[in-house]
Amino acid sequence: MSLLGRLHPVAAPVYPRRSPSLESRTSGTRGDTGDGFSGSARGSCLFFLIRSTLGLYSFPKGGGKHRGNAVARVVGVHGMGKQLLGEDTLLQEWRPALADGMRHAGKAKALLALDVGMAFYGELFRPQGELLAAGDPRYSAADVEEGFEQELLLEWWHAAAQSDPAVVPPVSDTLMATPRSVQAALRALSGSRFFAGIALRSMVFDLKQVHRYLTDPDLRARARSRVIEAIGQDTQVVVAHSLGSVVAYEALCAWPGHRVRALITLGSPLGIPNLMFHRLEPPPLVLGGAARGVWPGGDHLVWTNIADDGDVVALVKDLRPTFGDAVRSVRVHNGSHAHDAKAYLTDALCGQAIAEGLS
């Protein structure tokens, strides 16, 4: 097959007209440039053309190799901190929550098509040869590494202070990433609504999961493979939470020609500048002086990003400035469970987006 033939599935998309019922309650717009092509679509096509021509990009052979050979129409991708769970355990939470969200959206008929699978990558972060019966490794403030981990922790602290009056905001002498500021941040976050009930060692472990995903090429590739293997020709919807939204985004970008019709990201950190957005694979393209993320699909893909104002992990709530106006931006209210996957999944707007992807 010629190069252009291989690139055809990700050629510049013309986005389908959206359902008024959801669009009227979201802040996304099509963002055409006047010739039928979106800016993010142009970036997608240009990126794959350049990388393929130089021989720097490898194309996956395809998915549908999920364990048990069962290919679901809806594939979930979990977030961080799930290393002690598994596909079946997570699906016990996700399936009823997804169903509730669709019912709340008035899409009970679409439940007949709700065949859900889970792309599980959490075990990649579980140390080999240990049962970990007592929980995660006993990390402390001293284990938070300089650089990325300290910087992300301080970003969480700043975001938590903005949304939770019980959190003391950082002051000038704690804004710098130092051992002292790390201890202050962990103390402040432990008293927040967002991190209520989460042990200090778990917060540190979550920081390290994100850091390791971005810096360990082998683990990163294996995590993306789990998503690609879970997606088959019949998969129409991918729902990804937290760090899972990064894994899912990169997996879809690495598979031009996939048939996923709806990408729904929940509590996503994709838009965090420098710490996340500029470290993505494929990297953002700089066109006209502004960085723009590659669009993770073709003309059939509708991307809905859902965030709670109090979600500390989703530091950047609106992804349109970084990925283009074609992203549908949605705000929800999860109460004290701002980052909880179940709270996102049961929202009517999430259910609406899933139902539209299945229709």
**Amino acid identity of 36?**
G
Mean pLDDT of the chain: 77
Query: In angstroms, rounded to a whole number, what is the distance separating the alpha carbons of residues 253 and 85?
Result: 27
Query: In angstroms, rounded to a whole number, what is the distance separating the alpha carbons of residues 331 and 328?
Result: 10
Match 């109460």 to its residue by tokens. 335
- Please tell me the predicted confidence (pLDDT) of residue 40: 43
Length of the chain counted residue by residue: 359
Query: In angstroms, rounded to a whole number, what is the distance separating the alpha carbons of residues 20 and 33?
Result: 22
Q: Are 315 and 23 in contact (CB under 8 A)?
A: no
* pTM of the complete model: 0.76
Q: Are 57 and 34 in contact (CB under 8 A)?
A: no
Query: In angstroms, rounded to a whole number, what is the distance separating the alpha carbons of residues 12 and 10?
Result: 6
Please report, in tens digits, the pLDDT of each residue of the chain (359 residues total).
Answer: 322 222 233 333 333 333 444 544 455 443 443 333 344 444 444 444 444 333 344 444 555 554 444 578 999 999 888 888 888 999 999 999 999 999 999 988 778 777 899 999 988 988 766 554 455 567 777 777 788 878 888 887 778 777 777 777 776 554 454 555 777 777 777 666 666 556 566 777 788 888 889 999 999 999 999 999 999 888 999 999 999 999 999 999 999 889 999 999 999 999 988 889 999 999 999 878 889 999 999 988 999 999 998 888 888 999 999 999 999 999 999 988 888 899 999 999 999 999 999 98
Write out pLDDT tens, residues 234-251.
899 999 999 999 999 999
Q: Are 66 and 254 in contact (CB under 8 A)?
A: no
- Please tell me the predicted confidence (pLDDT) of residue 359: 84
- C-alpha 16: how far from chain center: 22
**Amino acid identity of 117?**
G
* Contacting residues for 99 by C-beta, under 8 A, at least 6 apart: 111, 114
DSSP state of 357: H
Three-class secondary structure of residue 204 per DSSP: helix
Write out pLDDT tens, residues 74-122.
999 998 888 888 889 999 999 999 999 999 999 887 787 778 999 999 8
Residue 286 forms beta bridges with which residues?
A: 291
